[in-house]
Structure 1
Amino acid sequence: MKKEMDQITKWAVELQSIAQDGIEYGHDRFDRERYEQVRKIATEMMAAKTGQPINIVKGLFSNDDGYQTPKVSTRAAIFNKEKILLVKESTDNLWSMPGGWCEPNITVKENCMKEAAEESGHKIEVDQIIAVTNHSTNIYDKERIERAINVCNVIFLCKDLGGKFSQNTETDKCSFFEFDNLPPLSLPRNSLAEIKMCFEANQNPNWQTKFE
């Protein structure tokens, strides 16, 4: 079940959104300065709520320009028979499907293939969209699922075409896992329910895309 934001988080998110829109569309210099101050207060509220350093919160929570919209990310559910490929994230030493933020000048399919190659070293064939889910950028502790910023997460069913892992700045290793032998998951990136859904899609030739 989806967790609801607490009231302080809701206020901070609303203030950040109002401030960002005002900075983008305001015509008066003094008004824009006031909106910048509102954004600063919203960031400080979120930092106080989460206990995270202000610079981390600012980078994740209030570093956008223009009208505030959800971010878009992709995840590649790469299967070799009944096993899924996961990568070990360098930031938290936990495991996830390869993926990341969508680049501005490529399609979501191309982004899925690019992220898979960069993080796992494997080439893939993208078959279909398993699901489009709502996530959000993590500024909570390791158990957080509640998010302050909405993320539109596109999960693709992919076929493994082979490859070899190379050390990189984002991941430390990759491996294939059966569902009953999964490693500890990086919850901001993918949940157990999402991994389970990917296994179900891989086993169902008539899978219908899920969306929220």
Structure 2
Amino acid sequence: MSLKWLEWSQKLQAIAQTGLTYTQSPYDIERYQQIRQIAAEIMATYAHETPTYVYDLLNKEEGYATPKVDVRGVVFHNDQILLVQEREDGCWTLPGGWVDVGESPSQAVIREVYEESGYQTRIIKLLALYDRNHPRHNHPPLRHHVYKLFFQCQISGGNAAESTETAGAAFFKEQEIPELSLTRVVPSQISRLFAHYRHPEWQPDFD
């Protein structure tokens, strides 16, 4: 299924959000609010949600519109990769999440790995920076435009543990990857990360 509707609605929302940030004209404010309403109606129609619900979500976004930043910790041990099981859908993913305001990406990934898996880690290198919205990644549609940063991490302490968001943490061989939470990570990304593990001389991927 084509996701052009999502691309169009995201662009309309970005125009509306940025316009509302800088304009002082009451006429332009009204126009940008109308553009946001159109974006909400497009998203609601194809996502099978109510326009009011989507508009309220979009209305919470303020400031110049830029992509959100998602970080993922890539932890290898004995040729296996660390995954955590999401309580939300019961599927597995690399530990990670949104970068908080005032927090660097490296701080965020160390925090997320610890919170979701119980392991303390240190950063080795950046393996990849991907545009989640790029068609080649095959993520399910999301209302946000997101950049995903994958950091290779090394365990420095801790033990596997559950959290409020995760029901467990475990290491898996490349041929034994369980069902993945596709909103967070997809099989092609896991395969590429294993390739990076086997080729530490590679430069980071992008886009």
TM-score bucket of the superposed structures, by smaller chain: 0.7 to 0.9
Q: Which residue of 2 aligns with 1:68?
A: 65
* Unmatched segments (≥5 aa) in structure 2: none
Whether the aligned pair in 2 keeps the contact of 1:102 and 1:108 (CA below 8 Å) is yes
Q: 1:29 deviation in Å?
A: 2.8
Whether the aligned pair in 1 keeps the contact of 2:117 and 2:163 (CA below 8 Å) is no
SS in structure 2 opposite 1:86?
Answer: strand
Question: Which moves more between the two structures, 71-80 or 31-40?
Answer: 31-40
Q: 1:207 deviation in Å?
A: 2.1
- Return the TM-score normalized by structure 1: 0.86
1:115-143 alpha-carbon deviations (Å, 9 max, x no partner): 0011111111210011100115xxxxxx8
Q: 1:55 deviation in Å?
A: 6.6
Q: Which residue of 2 aligns with 1:140?
A: none
Aligned residue pairs, count? 203
Counterpart check, 1:190 vs 2:190: no
Identity in percent: 33
SS in structure 2 opposite 1:126?
Answer: strand
Q: Which residue of 2 aligns with 1:13?
A: 10
Q: Are residues 85 and 10 of structure 1, via their aligned partners in 2, closer, same or farther at CA, if it must alter by over 3 Å? A: closer
Q: Distance in 2 between matches of 1:189 and 1:58?
A: 24
1:65-120 alpha-carbon deviations (Å, 9 max, x no partner): 11111111110011112111101112211111001111111211111100001111
Whether the aligned pair in 1 keeps the contact of 2:162 and 2:169 (CA below 8 Å) is no
Question: Which moves more between the two structures, 179-188 or 12-21?
Answer: 12-21
Q: Which residue of 2 aligns with 1:174?
A: 169
Q: Are residues 174 and 56 of structure 1, via their aligned partners in 2, closer, same or farther at CA, if it must alter by over 3 Å? A: farther
Displacement over 6 Å in runs of 4+:
none
SS in structure 2 opposite 1:91?
Answer: coil
Q: Are residues 187 and 46 of structure 1, via their aligned partners in 2, closer, same or farther at CA, if it must alter by over 3 Å? A: same
* Unmatched segments (≥5 aa) in structure 1: 137-142
Matched to 2:176, the amino acid is: N
